[in-house]
Amino acid sequence: MTRLPIHQHAPEGYKAVAALDQYVTKNIDHVLLDLVKLRASQLNGCAFCVDMHATDLEKTGVPSRKIFAVSAWRETDFFSDRERAALALTEQVTFISSGVDEKTWQEAARLFSERELSDLILAIGTINLWNRIGVSTHLAPPALG
Protein backbone atom coordinates (compact mmCIF):
# COMPACT_ATOMS: atom_id res chain seq x y z
CA MET A 1 0.00 0.00 0.00
CA THR A 2 1.24 3.47 -0.88
CA ARG A 3 2.42 5.38 2.18
CA LEU A 4 1.69 8.87 0.92
CA PRO A 5 -0.02 10.15 -2.23
CA ILE A 6 2.43 12.99 -2.85
CA HIS A 7 0.45 14.24 -5.86
CA GLN A 8 -2.44 15.02 -3.49
CA HIS A 9 -0.45 16.69 -0.74
CA ALA A 10 2.11 18.58 -2.82
CA PRO A 11 0.40 18.99 -6.19
CA GLU A 12 2.50 21.94 -7.38
CA GLY A 13 5.76 20.11 -6.70
CA TYR A 14 4.48 16.93 -8.28
CA LYS A 15 3.36 18.87 -11.37
CA ALA A 16 6.80 20.49 -11.61
CA VAL A 17 8.48 17.08 -11.69
CA ALA A 18 5.93 15.88 -14.25
CA ALA A 19 6.63 18.97 -16.40
CA LEU A 20 10.35 18.21 -16.43
CA ASP A 21 9.54 14.62 -17.36
CA GLN A 22 7.37 15.88 -20.24
CA TYR A 23 10.24 18.09 -21.41
CA VAL A 24 12.72 15.21 -21.62
CA THR A 25 10.10 12.98 -23.22
CA LYS A 26 9.72 15.52 -26.04
CA ASN A 27 13.47 15.86 -26.54
CA ILE A 28 14.95 12.37 -26.24
CA ASP A 29 14.33 9.33 -28.42
CA HIS A 30 11.64 7.29 -26.65
CA VAL A 31 13.49 3.97 -26.70
CA LEU A 32 16.72 5.53 -25.44
CA LEU A 33 14.82 7.39 -22.73
CA ASP A 34 13.00 4.26 -21.54
CA LEU A 35 16.26 2.30 -21.48
CA VAL A 36 17.76 5.00 -19.26
CA LYS A 37 14.67 5.09 -17.07
CA LEU A 38 14.60 1.31 -16.79
CA ARG A 39 18.28 1.08 -15.82
CA ALA A 40 18.07 3.82 -13.18
CA SER A 41 14.91 2.23 -11.80
CA GLN A 42 16.62 -1.17 -11.57
CA LEU A 43 19.55 0.38 -9.72
CA ASN A 44 17.24 2.21 -7.33
CA GLY A 45 14.95 -0.78 -6.75
CA CYS A 46 11.78 1.01 -7.85
CA ALA A 47 9.36 -1.77 -8.79
CA PHE A 48 6.72 0.64 -10.06
CA CYS A 49 9.14 2.34 -12.46
CA VAL A 50 10.84 -0.90 -13.56
CA ASP A 51 7.43 -2.28 -14.48
CA MET A 52 6.36 0.91 -16.27
CA HIS A 53 9.48 1.37 -18.37
CA ALA A 54 9.90 -2.30 -19.27
CA THR A 55 6.25 -2.33 -20.33
CA ASP A 56 6.71 0.89 -22.33
CA LEU A 57 9.72 -0.62 -24.13
CA GLU A 58 7.72 -3.74 -24.90
CA LYS A 59 4.87 -1.62 -26.33
CA THR A 60 7.29 0.17 -28.68
CA GLY A 61 8.43 -3.17 -30.09
CA VAL A 62 11.78 -3.53 -28.33
CA PRO A 63 12.58 -7.26 -28.25
CA SER A 64 12.01 -8.90 -24.87
CA ARG A 65 15.57 -10.19 -24.81
CA LYS A 66 16.91 -6.65 -25.04
CA ILE A 67 14.62 -5.47 -22.22
CA PHE A 68 15.70 -8.39 -20.03
CA ALA A 69 19.35 -7.62 -20.78
CA VAL A 70 19.27 -4.00 -19.59
CA SER A 71 20.60 -5.03 -16.18
CA ALA A 72 23.53 -6.78 -17.90
CA TRP A 73 23.92 -4.44 -20.89
CA ARG A 74 27.73 -4.61 -20.89
CA GLU A 75 27.58 -8.38 -21.46
CA THR A 76 25.54 -8.30 -24.70
CA ASP A 77 25.77 -6.80 -28.16
CA PHE A 78 22.09 -5.81 -28.09
CA PHE A 79 22.77 -2.11 -27.52
CA SER A 80 23.99 0.62 -29.86
CA ASP A 81 26.99 2.78 -28.99
CA ARG A 82 24.67 5.64 -28.01
CA GLU A 83 22.58 3.36 -25.81
CA ARG A 84 25.71 1.98 -24.16
CA ALA A 85 27.04 5.48 -23.48
CA ALA A 86 23.68 6.56 -22.06
CA LEU A 87 23.45 3.48 -19.83
CA ALA A 88 27.00 3.99 -18.52
CA LEU A 89 26.23 7.64 -17.79
CA THR A 90 22.95 6.63 -16.12
CA GLU A 91 24.76 4.29 -13.76
CA GLN A 92 27.36 6.88 -12.78
CA VAL A 93 24.88 9.74 -12.34
CA THR A 94 22.58 7.47 -10.33
CA PHE A 95 25.52 6.55 -8.06
CA ILE A 96 26.77 10.14 -8.12
CA SER A 97 28.77 9.92 -4.90
CA SER A 98 31.45 8.20 -6.98
CA GLY A 99 31.25 10.94 -9.61
CA VAL A 100 31.21 10.56 -13.38
CA ASP A 101 34.58 9.39 -14.63
CA GLU A 102 36.29 11.08 -17.55
CA LYS A 103 36.10 8.04 -19.84
CA THR A 104 32.33 7.75 -19.44
CA TRP A 105 31.87 11.50 -19.89
CA GLN A 106 34.06 11.69 -22.98
CA GLU A 107 32.29 8.77 -24.64
CA ALA A 108 28.91 10.35 -24.01
CA ALA A 109 30.18 13.74 -25.24
CA ARG A 110 31.50 12.08 -28.40
CA LEU A 111 28.16 10.45 -29.22
CA PHE A 112 25.72 13.14 -28.11
CA SER A 113 25.58 16.85 -28.93
CA GLU A 114 25.84 19.25 -26.00
CA ARG A 115 22.06 19.76 -26.14
CA GLU A 116 21.43 15.99 -26.24
CA LEU A 117 23.83 15.42 -23.36
CA SER A 118 22.17 18.19 -21.35
CA ASP A 119 18.75 16.63 -21.95
CA LEU A 120 20.12 13.20 -21.04
CA ILE A 121 21.45 14.46 -17.71
CA LEU A 122 18.08 16.09 -17.00
CA ALA A 123 16.36 12.79 -17.85
CA ILE A 124 18.64 10.80 -15.56
CA GLY A 125 18.07 13.26 -12.73
CA THR A 126 14.32 13.19 -13.27
CA ILE A 127 13.98 9.40 -13.23
CA ASN A 128 16.11 9.28 -10.10
CA LEU A 129 13.66 11.67 -8.43
CA TRP A 130 10.69 9.61 -9.60
CA ASN A 131 12.42 6.49 -8.23
CA ARG A 132 12.92 8.16 -4.87
CA ILE A 133 9.25 9.12 -4.77
CA GLY A 134 8.19 5.59 -5.72
CA VAL A 135 10.51 3.75 -3.33
CA SER A 136 9.97 6.02 -0.32
CA THR A 137 6.16 5.91 -0.66
CA HIS A 138 5.97 2.18 -1.54
CA LEU A 139 4.36 2.89 -4.90
CA ALA A 140 3.56 -0.52 -6.38
CA PRO A 141 3.02 -1.56 -9.99
CA PRO A 142 -0.50 -2.56 -11.01
CA ALA A 143 -1.46 -6.16 -10.32
CA LEU A 144 -0.81 -8.74 -13.03
CA GLY A 145 -3.81 -9.77 -14.90
35-62 residue pLDDT tens? 999 999 999 999 999 999 999 999 999 9
Does residue 42 fall inside a structural domain? yes
> Could you give the count of Cα atoms lying within 13 Å of 79 in the half-sphere of its Cβ?
24
Does residue 144 fall inside a structural domain? no
Does residue 5 fall inside a structural domain? no
Q: What CATH number does residue 94 fall under?
A: 1.20.1290.10
Question: Structural domain tally of the chain?
Answer: 1
Nearest to 73 by CA among 36, 41, 99, 108: 36
Does residue 10 fall inside a structural domain? no
21-33 residue pLDDT tens? 999 999 999 999 9
* Domain span including residue 35: 16-136
Report which residue type is found at 73: W
